[in-house]
Amino acid sequence: MQIVVAPDSFKECLSSALVAAAIAEGIGRVYPEANIISIPMADGGEGTVAALVAATGGKIIPTPSVDALNRPIQSFYGILGDEKTVIIEMAAASGIELIAPEERNPLITTTFGTGLLIKAALDAGFTRIIVGIGGSATNDGGSGMAQALGFKLLDKTGKSIEFGGGSLKNLFIIDDLEVHPRLAEVVITVACDVRNPLLGSFGATMVYGPQKGATPEMLIKLEQNMAHFSCKLQEKFRLNISDAPGAGAAGGLGGGMLAFCNAKIASGFETISRLTNLEKHISGATLVFTAEGKIDAQTASGKTISGVAQLAKKYDLLVIALAGVVADSMKELYNQGVTAVFSIGNPSVSIAESKARAAELLADKAEQIMLMVKKSELY
């Protein structure tokens, strides 16, 4: 029996590698002889670097950077097994999990640290860069990232604007005279499964601003500032990013990378599944497990569970999806190929305790499922 375990991370709880290990442990309790192939997945957010480095035999490079509040941190980027491609996750620098809930303020948080990671890869001479942009704490349109790469974002007096979405209204001139000399030589791919535009009710600010600490009053200001920023980008680069799918990802970093870096946006799941040879492993499997922390309305829109299920459906395989929380109807996921969904939560256990015991709960649930499989004599 060959079982593929291809989960996403449980955000603010377990990495995708730890989720995979817990599920594999539960399976092994019932089927110790099973060939379990663990393929930790990610959608461009936290865990993307670790997943791809592990899958391709690459390595992680410790790199100094700053967090979303511009405080020095030790971060990292990955080099894939081909030794030519760098993988960066913005969550490792400008991520929301790196700052405390009470510190989250999209008026001042910045993507400067993400730009420093890109700069480090450019300085090292790499020609292909993949940037995963999930899990951001920012709403600055990638302005901080651009400043780290040498763009000068100036106000009417010729002074650099401050970091954060609250200062975008002051942008008057974009000066590219001191941009990193290698930026134009590299191919940059943005790995992202968010398709939101930059502006509007489904845009970067209105959809994701609240979870980054934005109050209703902040949302109005941030949206106005982002609209002004978009106009300035169009003026400079002759590129209208306001409605571009994915431009609203990571507080507009997706759009900023389209403009400042001439990047291309690609599905995070498809990028990672291709590099990990996920379909090849699934094609030879008997059963597939996948998982993510919360299954909700967005899960069926190209996130990990959806992507894994659609690959497995091609080979008519059973797909078991596990989650910490199941918040919405599963109908679309079932249509996409998920066979069954199980929550690992327990009503008698608090959320805090469930997070602390997530690995244990995952292993126990996988064990229960495999006991049912064994009892049914399916395999």
Q: pLDDT of 235-287, one tens digit each?
A: 999 999 998 999 999 999 999 999 999 999 998 888 889 888 999 999 999 99
Q: pLDDT of 128-185, one tens digit each?
A: 999 999 889 999 999 999 999 999 999 999 999 999 999 999 999 999 999 999 999 9
Give the Cα separation of 184 and 216 in Å (integer): 39
User: What are the domain boundaries of the chain?
Assistant: 2-40+277-376, 48-268
Name the one residue in this structure whose structure tokens are 């327990």.
Answer: 346
> What is the three-class DSSP state of 278?
helix
What average pLDDT score do residues 326-350 get? 85
**Fold of the domain spanning 2-40+277-376:** Rossmann fold (3.40.50)
**What's the whole-number average pLDDT of the chain?**
93
What average pLDDT score do residues 346-362 get? 84
Q: pLDDT of 203-247, one tens digit each?
A: 999 999 999 999 999 999 999 999 999 999 999 999 999 989 999
Please report the pLDDT score of residue 379 as a whole number. 64
* Identity of the residue numbered 225: N
Contact 351, 7 (CB under 8 A): no
Nearest to 222 by CA among 249, 252, 255, 194: 252
Q: Which residues pair with 266 in a beta bridge?
A: 191
Please report the pLDDT score of residue 254 as a whole number. 96
Give the Cα separation of 170 and 226 in Å (integer): 11
Q: Where does 48-268 sit in CATH, by number? A: 3.90.1510.10
Q: Which residues pair with 295 in a beta bridge?
A: 326
Lowest mean pLDDT among 39-48, 109-118, 152-161, 165-174: 39-48
Tokens representing residue 88 in the block:
């960066």
pTM of the entire predicted model: 0.86
